[in-house]
Chain A
Amino acid sequence: MPTYSTRRGAYSYGHAVGILLLDAKAPFIPGDVANATSYDFPVIYKTVEGLSTSVCLNGAPEFNEKLAEAAKELAREGVKGISSDCGFMLQFQEAVADAVDIPVCMSSLLQLPFIARSLDPSQPIGVITADSTNLDEGFLTRGGVKLPPNPLIIRGMQDEPEFKTAVLEEKGSLDSDLITAETVACAEKLLAEYPTMGAILLECSMLPPYAKAVQDAVGLPVYDFISAIDYLSAGMRPRAYTGGY
């Protein structure tokens, strides 16, 4: 019979992934990284106080230490991997990964080279981000993302009225029908301008609820924050195969 030891620092057990959260208040609907029902496995959240959306988007190296500490606390609680709820937390990837012994995927943007490798280098990749004024190739490179040969077309949601007020300005409510329409329109425009586009990556942790609508509209592979967290978790939750032969 297996013997289990108490994990000092843990008040509950079985959490697969620990997710560091921005200090933000908005409705996190099913499909959002910060909604626990978005996963087929249990996750645990930890808010990083003071790290507001705008602070994070504008770059906040002074938070490196705080994020590393928060990740260590999650690791002590027994999570098997660490993630976050903002693609711009790519800036903390190195600090957090160096602080713990478990795999860390702080940003949806880490998927970019992997996605690119599945395509022909001539096929553009569309990136839909919360704020394209802060996301460029320099930001990716500084975050350790190796730029693929594929053209990267980065589009932001910052001027879409519902996204802007609900997500970036935290007005206190969110109309998912309106954000669906805004996100789909952005993706359709991308495809119209780049008809050979091979895939779309949604940077923002609040966009996965609309990934299916985007895919249904444009017919392309769509990757998002949840696909990254699912993959991160898969390595620590290997399956027992009981199927047929």
Chain B
Amino acid sequence: MPVYKTRPQAEAYGYCTGILLLDYQGPFVPGDVGNADTYDYPVLFKVVEGATYPRVFTGDPELEPAIIKAAQELEAQGVKAISSDCGFFLNYQDVIAKAVNIPVCASSLLQVPFVASFLGKSKSIGVITADSTALSNHMIAKTGLDNDRKLVIKGMQEQPCFDKQIMQEGDELVTEDIERETVEVALEMQRENPDLGAIVLECSMLPPYSKAVQEATGLPVYDFITMIDYFQRGTHQKAYDTPRHYY
């Protein structure tokens, strides 16, 4: 019979992924990284106090201690992997990974080189981000993407509804508005880059619209949720309990 030990810092058990949250309030709709019902497994959220998105976008080093502390608290609660709800947490990927002993996927952008590796060498890879002016070459380099892969970046910051409802921390979010704008940006990217092979959505508030983007462009679309699901899979291997005669 298995023996289980108390985890002193755990209030409750069974959380799979721990998710660091920006200090941000907005409606997190189903499909958003910050909505618990997005996942097929339980996740544990933890707000990093003071981590406003402008500070995270620029990688403010003064936030590091608070981020590390939050990540270590999630680990002590028993989560098996750590993620976040902002692709710009890429700025803190390395310090978090150093501070804990579980896998860390702090940013959807970490997928960019993996997805690029699926594509023929003549294809470009696209990133749709909340704010393209904040996504520096230095950050792209941090993903590990090869220099010879063509990368196309488009931002949502000039889309009126995205700006008002998301960037300005509006009280209301109309999913039809954000979906329309995201699809428009994706189609524009595809028109301007006929060699586009796949799209990665940086922003944690965009996965609800991945399906619309995929259907409009016909391209593979990866987002924060595809990444968190991947690490869930690696940290919770499954039993293949199909009856054995199914072979």
Seen from chain A, the residues whose Cβ lies within 8 Å of a Cβ on chain B are 27-31, 35, 37-38, 80-81, 93-94, 97-105, 110-111, 113-115, 117-120, 144-146, 198-199, 208-209, 211-212, 214-215, 221-224, 227, 230-232, 234-236, 238-245
Contacts and interface: CB of A to CB of B under 8 A. Distances in A.
B237 A222 contact: yes
Nearest to A99: B120
A212 B117 contact: no
B242 A37 contact: yes
Which has the most chain B C-beta neighbours within 10 Å: A28, A101, A242? A101
Contact of A235 (B102, B103, B198): B198
A120 B30 contact: no
Contact of B144 (A101, A113, A119, A236): A113
Contact of A146 (B31, B121, B146): B146
A96 to B, nearest CB: 9
B85 to A, nearest CB: 15
Which has the most chain B C-beta neighbours within 10 Å: A80, A94, A214, A221? A221
A118 B231 contact: yes
B208 to A, nearest CB: 6
B90 to A, nearest CB: 10
Contact of B35 (A94, A110, A231, A245): A245
B103 A100 contact: no
B29 A245 contact: yes
Contact of B220 (A100, A222, A235, A240): A235
Contact of A103 (B81, B197, B229, B242): B197
Top 3 A-B pairs, shortest CB-CB distance: A243-B37, A235-B220, A241-B31
A30 B246 contact: yes
A98 B207 CA distance: 28
A25 B72 CA distance: 48
29 contacts: A30-B240, A30-B241, A35-B246, A37-B242, A97-B119, A98-B122, A102-B220, A103-B115, A105-B118, A111-B114, A113-B144, A115-B103, A115-B234, A117-B143, A118-B105, A144-B117, A146-B113, A221-B81, A221-B102, A222-B237, A223-B233, A231-B114, A234-B229, A235-B198, A238-B213, A238-B214, A245-B27, A245-B28, A245-B30
B157 interface: no
A232 B221 CA distance: 10
Interface in B149-178: none
Contact of A118 (B103, B115, B233, B240): B103
Which has the most chain A C-beta neighbours within 10 Å: B30, B113, B146, B234? B234
Contacts, number: 168
B225 interface: yes
Given A114-B113, A230-B233, A236-B220, A103 B198 contact: yes
A117 B105 CA distance: 8
Given A27-B247, A232-B118, A243-B30, 13 more contacts: A105-B118, A113-B144, A118-B104, A120-B94, A120-B97, A144-B117, A221-B80, A231-B230, A231-B233, A236-B214, A238-B213, A239-B225, A243-B31
A94 B246 contact: no
B208 A37 contact: no
B9 interface: no
Contacts of A199: 103, 234
A117 B27 CA distance: 31
A236 B115 CA distance: 12
A242 B30 CA distance: 6
A223 B234 contact: yes
B220 A29 contact: no
B88 interface: no
Given A103-B198, A144-B117, A240 B211 contact: yes
A214 B237 contact: yes
